[in-house]
Chains A and B, each alone.
Chain A
Amino acid sequence: MVENFAILPCNGLDKCAGVISRELAIRLSEQADNKIICPVFYRVSETKYNKLAAERPLFVIDGCQTRCASKLAAEKNLKIARRIIVADEAKNRHMELTDSLRITEREAALIDLLIHTLHEESWNHPAALTGSPGSTDRSEGLIDRLFDVGNKSDTDLRIPAEDLDASFDFDYETIQNGKFIFRIPKNRDIFFNENDCWARVSGNRARIGVTDYVQQNLSDILYFYPPEVGDEIDQFGELGTIESSKAVFELVSPFSGKVIAINEKLEKNPELINENPYELGWIAEIELTDPEGDKELLIGFEKYFEITKKKVEDANVK
């Protein structure tokens, strides 16, 4: 079972997903040593929960995509160790949530399923109990999203033999607007799409990330929701999401291919994307399916620089 977490749930009084979040939090706290942070009281008075939040990893249960609990965590400068969005979990299981604000049989079934999945995974993967990265295998489902990236074996996470880091140097051009500096790499093996994602190609692989334009606009990045290793991604398909307190950004993959690695450092330190989205803050690596075909719809440094300059001027980001 999930243990030793501080649980910050959606309070759930106006949506079915919220009611489920609340009940799930209560069940998790009843079954193990987990402590609930009441979001309503926490908003008006931090004192009661400061110690708890400082001592335990934070498990956020959002009801719906509004992500009130995640936003509250951001307001309080809390780092989210684990998160679940109930509406997503229901959708993944093809369960439609109703308007009910009561836990009926239907809602109870989903809660049982979520709890059961947590228990089952925990029995198999004790390293997941405290949320600390272990060396267990990955499998599909809720637990993967709760306990995912760090649970992969070193073999799964290895960087391809021709270590991309070793051969990567970046030569930047910058655009400045007020205090904001937007770096854009000029290297010829880097391609961009018009959704502000970059890809650096090396043989039949590419490392992918977001540009400075994205990280500057999102401001402090708080959460990284990675793709799964092994996922087949279409060109312009979703390659994970990153979130700040301001917004959610979906990574639009410049290339099609299979995900072969993700940047596991981002799980615990998503702020690396803010520090440098091209180097330590890269997102994923993919094995390319159709690099030449995909390049037809991508742009190089000159064009991306021109587009970004115009966007910065238009948006007047200051």
Chain B
Amino acid sequence: MSETTFMGVERSLIDWKPVIDYRKCDYCMECVRFCPHKVFEVREDEEIKLIIKNPHNCVVFCRACSKLCGPDALSFPDKNITTQRIKEIRKEMEGHG
């Protein structure tokens, strides 16, 4: 169900995904239950029980999972840097268009 583009830019070119701080994560899996885009995957039988499985499903600029994270273990890129990068890519696309 993920969008293939965001602001006209191929989603895979935009670096926007949560980063898990495993020193803080207590595997409560609140983020997994919340995220409707299946960004996370639970790996019950492994030492690292939670991974970012589908980073490009993550809605650019959405940080809702981090706002629900009790141990504050999720972080996202700087929005301004991401916006600038999107603008640059759009310019590059215009140049090629």
- CB pair A237–B72 under 8 Å, yes or no, is no
Is B69 an interface position by the 8 A CB rule? yes
Q: Report B5 CB to chain A, min CB distance, Å.
A: 9
User: What 1/0 mask marks residues of chain B from 82 to 97 whose CB sits below 8 Å from any chain A CB?
Assistant: 1100110010000000
A315 to B1, CA, bound (A): 7
- CB pair B62–A250 under 8 Å, yes or no, is yes
Is B48 an interface position by the 8 A CB rule? no
Q: Report B60 CB to chain A, min CB distance, Å.
A: 7
- CB pair A236–B30 under 8 Å, yes or no, is no
Within 8 A of B (CB), among A245-281: 247-250, 252
Given contact pairs A66-B28, A314-B1, A236 touches B79 in the complex (Cβ within 8 A): yes
Given contact pairs A64-B72, A194-B7, A237-B79, A250 touches B86 in the complex (Cβ within 8 A): no
Most chain A CB neighbours (cut-off 10 Å) among B6, B68, B82, B86: B68
List, in ascending order, chain A residues with CB within 8 A of B86's CB.
Answer: 297
- CB pair A250–B79 under 8 Å, yes or no, is no
Chain B, residue nearest A298 (CB): B7
- CB pair A297–B7 under 8 Å, yes or no, is yes
- CB pair B64–A65 under 8 Å, yes or no, is no
- CB pair B62–A248 under 8 Å, yes or no, is no
Residues of A within 8 A of B (CB-CB), count = 25
- CB pair A234–B70 under 8 Å, yes or no, is no
Chain B, residue nearest A96 (CB): B72
- CB pair B72–A87 under 8 Å, yes or no, is yes
Given contact pairs A15-B70, A65-B68, A66-B28, A195 touches B61 in the complex (Cβ within 8 A): yes
- CB pair B67–A241 under 8 Å, yes or no, is yes
A315 to B28, CA, bound (A): 25
Is A235 an interface position by the 8 A CB rule? yes
- CB pair A64–B36 under 8 Å, yes or no, is no
List, in ascending order, chain B residues with CB within 8 A of A15's CB.
Answer: 70-71
List, in ascending order, chain B residues with CB within 8 A of A311's CB.
Answer: 1
List, in ascending order, chain A residues with CB within 8 A of B6's CB.
Answer: 194
* A contact residues vs B (CB 8 Å cutoff): 15, 64-67, 87, 91, 194-195, 234-237, 241, 247-250, 252, 296-297, 307, 311, 314-315
* B contact residues vs A (CB 8 Å cutoff): 1, 3, 6-7, 28, 30, 34, 36, 59-64, 66-72, 79-80, 82-83, 86-87, 90
Task: Name 30 interchain pairs, CB-CB below 8 A, sorted by A.
Answer: A15-B70, A64-B70, A64-B71, A64-B72, A65-B66, A65-B68, A65-B69, A65-B72, A66-B68, A91-B72, A194-B3, A194-B6, A194-B60, A195-B59, A195-B62, A234-B80, A234-B83, A235-B83, A236-B61, A237-B79, A247-B68, A248-B67, A249-B64, A250-B62, A252-B61, A252-B62, A297-B7, A311-B1, A314-B1, A315-B1
Top 8 nearest A-B pairs (CB, nearest first) are A66-B70, A64-B70, A314-B1, A248-B67, A252-B61, A236-B61, A195-B61, A236-B79
